[in-house]
């Protein structure tokens, strides 16, 4: 029943866009950690990370803890984390656990990229 997490990483000028597919729970931790050493930053001077959860059907507290650890690492290493595609329910949960202290929520990739462009142009 558990749908193992898959990640699709697409670099863009100033950052990385990561699309997650499957379940975001404690079993996903190893997979997420295997694609990048988040504590060392995004590499090549990238300053923005977009996590697209549109194809994530299940997130539990362990999954949320994973997200927040990545976002905290970003704060230390100087990259901003954007989360998009989360359902209204999960957005509510993110606020409850304080994840929104570390990430910015956007409805989709496009909106997140618009915000990044604005940040890059100093708006």
Residues that bind other proteins (CB under 8 A): 1-2, 23, 25-27, 39, 58, 60-62, 64-66, 68-69, 72-73, 87, 89, 93, 96-98
Name the 3-class secondary structure at 93: helix
CB of 61 to other proteins, least distance (A): 4
Q: Considering the complex, what minimum distance in angstroms separates the CB of residue 1 from other proteins?
A: 4
Question: Which residue in this structure is represented by tokens 């558990």?
Answer: 2
Task: Give me the least distance between CB of 58 and other proteins, in Å please.
Answer: 7
């Amino acid at each position: 029943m558990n749908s193992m997490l898959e990640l699709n990483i697409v670099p863009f000028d100033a950052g990385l866009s990561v699309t997650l597919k499957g379940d975001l729970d404690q079993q996903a931790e190893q997979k997420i950690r295997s694609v990048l050493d988040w504590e060392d930053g995004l590499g090549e001077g990238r300053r923005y990370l977009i996590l697209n959860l549109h194809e994530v059907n299940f997130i539990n507290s362990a999954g949320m803890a994973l997200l927040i650890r990545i976002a905290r690492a970003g704060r230390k290493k100087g990259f901003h984390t954007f989360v998009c595609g989360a359902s209204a329910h999960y957005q509510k949960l993110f606020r409850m656990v304080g994840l929104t202290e570390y990430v910015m929520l956007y409805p989709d990739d496009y909106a997140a990229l618009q915000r990044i462009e604005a940040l890059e142009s100093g708006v």
